Structure 1
Amino acid sequence: RGGGVPADADIGMVVDLAHAGIDLNEDGNIAPDESIAAIMASLSRGVDASDAAPSLAFRFDRADGFWLQGYAEFLMAQADFWLAHDFRAMFDGSFHMLFPHAKLPLQDALVPPDGGMSGSIFASEWRFADFISLVHLVNWPVIEPERRKAARRHLLEMIRLSREDWKAILAETDNDREWLPGPQQKGVNPLTGLEVGEAQVKAWLAALTMAEDLLEGRVLLPHFRIIGKGINMKRFFDEPKPFDLVLSITGPAIAPYLESGKILTSDDFNQIQREFGGAGFLIFALWFN
């Protein structure tokens, strides 16, 4: 952990993302379009792997250690939220759309004879039907309430680590193949094609405060059909009830968490979002953590 490393230690590990990858098709090899660089470039810019930047070696330093810890907390929050509930019916009833060869219970009945290999996941009628089934089946009983409470704690720790990350980034005086540069480290990032300015950092820190206020119940989350009250997200995690996606959207499932108080407004978020320009808040958030 970062707390066990001397504050003045020079930490750095160079990783070339063009040579590290994931064997997506399980053929035992890492093809050019399976490199981490190609995958991330495709996700962030919607480009072909061949369009990835030629030089993608980054020096991961002390600040990036906080970044990685933060992402680990984010993933643990997702895992704990899922595992707090019994989602077996949803998994058995719809996940063959993602894993058509995994011998899930409805594979023989609902996966096409070609094994689901024709067409993309976004243009396949049978997968679209199964996605509807998935949404319908997100009605999960709570089986481990402590895990749902833990999910909130992981998110709060992620926020703390992101603040530590930016504190460390802003203190850097070098500019050596930065994974996540500060405003003082000029240059476009070769993977994302983005440059970080002071306005983005300030807006990100404001977004962290907004998220922390929501998770601590100091500010309430609005619901489109409810006026004068908002959702207390601290109670949503700490006082878990069955999670029903559709009824959360339409209102009944979130009624127990409604309170009067300070409600987050669209203007609050839009003011932050404007600082991220054309790339948008989401792209920066995926990068910044």
Structure 2
Amino acid sequence: MALTSREALRDRAGALVEEACAWAVGLSDRPWVQRRHGRVVDGGQTIGSRALSGLPLAGEEDARLELGDAAPGSFQDALGALAPDGTLLAERFDDEVLVPFALAAGVVAAGRLQRADPQGWADLLDELGEDGSDLEAVVRAGEWDAPLRADAEQLVLGALGRRPLAEVEAEGLPLAVVRAAEAQTRAAAERPPAAPPGAAALEGAVFLAEAAVAGAGLTVPVPPDEAEVLLLALRDEGLEEDEVLAVLPLLPLAPGTAAAVAARLSP
């Protein structure tokens, strides 16, 4: 399972880097703060202005070991910078990008193993004490998400770590805009010309669902083996089960994906 999980993560490495770039957008506008005598104080600059001046962003006493030796003003250096609440920006990057992406890769890997080796899958579930109805729970029970997070971090740092923060932000902005535009174009092309009764009430749910597909880095059209990841993304956007079922016909899904998602909903 560990090997399959790493393969799933590598398969989605490009999407991970895109997510990292998109996440970085706006970091330059944040205030640069520093720890002085144990207190976090305003440094009188923005992260972006300091980065452009070639000055370090991370404080020596706060930076993580794996973020050490960062080039001043680089994306890696920015991850070691402090937020006004005293936490590292790297912690937010973990919570908002690396952790969910690693978990999603583990879910994809679990689905692959389930289909490729049913007996091995059954043995694994028995060992973990899981029934297999919740692939996310299986990944967590097997503790595969933590090493995947570390692998994801290394992939991102290898691709973006030494690049200037401004360059990473510039790359993230157009990619995010393009993804959103593509999602809107697909939705417009696939919606039926005559909207069924009550469709107006679904507009908000459809918008959130399209954002979920674009933001999760899913293959488009979404194949059945990514149904679990799609469902997690839809739930993360706040969609209820009836809304999920209603928007599935309006999303760019491969044959069998809608049924796979529906099968994972509570009976």
- Per the normalisation by structure 2, the TM-score is 0.27
Rg: which structure is higher?
A: 1
Q: Which has the higher helix share?
A: 2
Q: Which has the higher contact order (CA 8 A, sep 6+)?
A: 2
